[in-house]
Amino acid sequence: MHRFRNDPTLAIPVFPGSHIVLDGHYIFLSGLTVTDIQGGEAVLGDIAEETRWVMRRLSRMLEYAGASMADVVRVDVHLTNLDTIHTMDAAYAEFFEEKRYPARTCTESPRLSGGSNVEITLMARQPEQNDTD
């Protein structure tokens, strides 16, 4: 049975969707930009800081769902400018154990929500749990 959750620290989605969906095997997190995070506008334009802000929040969302970044198996990254990929990669890599990176796609999307320069979504393997929530 699917479970649908919203991160209580984020605004309720303005789109018809949930922040987090758990299906018993995987955790799916909706795409996130810094403009979705309170105060994130302060780092707009700095691709490394935007990436760190988003990755930290995604990490917290995984913890809320009972997982961690070590459980991540797939990531989708959207950049407004692929020329910034190396800077984004350096910040992104800080969140994973070296040589244990999840599968990833990175695309250029000329326009992201709120004027952000990076949007990241991910999927993680759900750790074994004993709850029946």
In the chain, the percentage of residues whose pLDDT exceeds 70 is 96
Residue 95 lies in a domain: yes
Look at residue 116 and tell me if it is in a domain: yes
User: Measured between alpha carbons, how far is 53 from 40 in angstroms, rounded to an integer?
Assistant: 7
Q: What is the pLDDT of residue 29?
A: 96
100 domain residue, yes or no: yes
Q: What residue numbers bound the domain in which 66 lies? A: 3-7+17-125
Residue 98 lies in a domain: yes
**How high is the pLDDT of residue 129?**
63
Per-residue pLDDT band at 41 (split at 50, 70, 90): confident
CATH number of the domain where residue 51 is located: 3.30.1330.40
Q: Output the average pLDDT for the chain.
A: 91
Is 92 a member of any domain?
yes
Q: What sign results for the dihedral spanned by CA atoms 114, 49, 67, 11?
A: negative
Q: What CA–CA distance (Å, rounded) separates 88 from 49?
A: 9
Q: Is residue 130 part of a domain?
A: no
pLDDT in tens, 43-90: 988 999 999 999 999 999 999 999 999 999 999 999 999 999 999 999
Looking at residue 130, what is its pLDDT?
53
- Residue 10's pLDDT is what? 81
Domain count, the chain: 1
The pLDDT of residue 38 is above 90: no
pTM: 0.90
Is residue 131 one of the residues assigned to a domain?
Answer: no
44 assigned to some structural domain: yes
